[in-house]
């Protein structure tokens, strides 16, 4: 009953939902930039969204779009700055970081979707880097 009331007020209050999701995405972005973040807090907040059954509609699609944009922009920049071995080493490092993120605090369903986004982004960047 309490969870239903909480869900009802969060789902209906788009401002609270938007600020919560933006805050989560900001923390994940900071972690991707190398800053230390409280992974326990992230995990708890994401689990809350999952328990409220709003994780997928409120968070996941925005997370995947942010992930795709970040790596597309980063890849384009790195292609200009690095040769192939350095670029591939960076890609490997980023894949390991994203895998850690998936293991530590993201919902299990996001693991597949995020992996697909990363694969497609890397595939496109490699095509751009090494045209036929």
pLDDT tens profile 95-117 = 888 888 888 888 877 777 777 77
Number of folded domains that form the chain: 1
At residue 105, the pLDDT reads 87
The alpha carbon of residue 38 and the mean position of all alpha carbons in its chain are separated, in whole angstroms, by 15
Q: For residues 42 and 27, what is the distance between their CA atoms, to the nearest angstrom?
A: 8
Kindly report the average pLDDT of the chain as a whole number: 83
Q: Is 85 strand, coil or helix?
A: helix
Nearest to 13 by CA among 61, 54, 67: 54
Express each pLDDT in 67-79 by its tens digit: 888 888 888 888 8
* Block residue for tokens 């200009």: 80
From first CA to last CA, the distance across the chain in angstroms is 59
Express each pLDDT in 2-25 by its tens digit: 777 777 776 668 888 899 999 999
Domain range for 14 is 2-129
How many residues are there in the chain?
132
CATH of the domain at 92: 1.20.1310.10
The 8-class DSSP code of residue 130 comes to S
Contacts of 62 (CB under 8 A, 6+ apart): 21, 25
């Amino acid at each position: 009953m309490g969870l239903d009331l909480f869900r009802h007020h969060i789902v209906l209050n788009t401002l609270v939902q938007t600020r919560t999701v933006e805050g989560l995405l900001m923390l994940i972005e900071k972690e991707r930039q190398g800053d230390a973040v409280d992974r326990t807090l992230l995990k708890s907040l994401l689990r809350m969204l999952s328990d409220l059954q709003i994780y997928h509609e409120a968070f996941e699609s925005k997370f995947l779009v942010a992930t795709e944009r970040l790596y597309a922009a980063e890849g384009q920049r790195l292609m200009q700055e690095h040769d192939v071995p350095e670029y591939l080493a960076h890609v490997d490092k980023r894949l390991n970081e994203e895998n850690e993120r998936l293991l530590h605090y993201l919902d299990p369903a996001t693991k597949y979707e995020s992996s697909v986004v990363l694969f497609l982004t890397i595939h496109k960047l490699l095509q751009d880097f090494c045209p036929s």
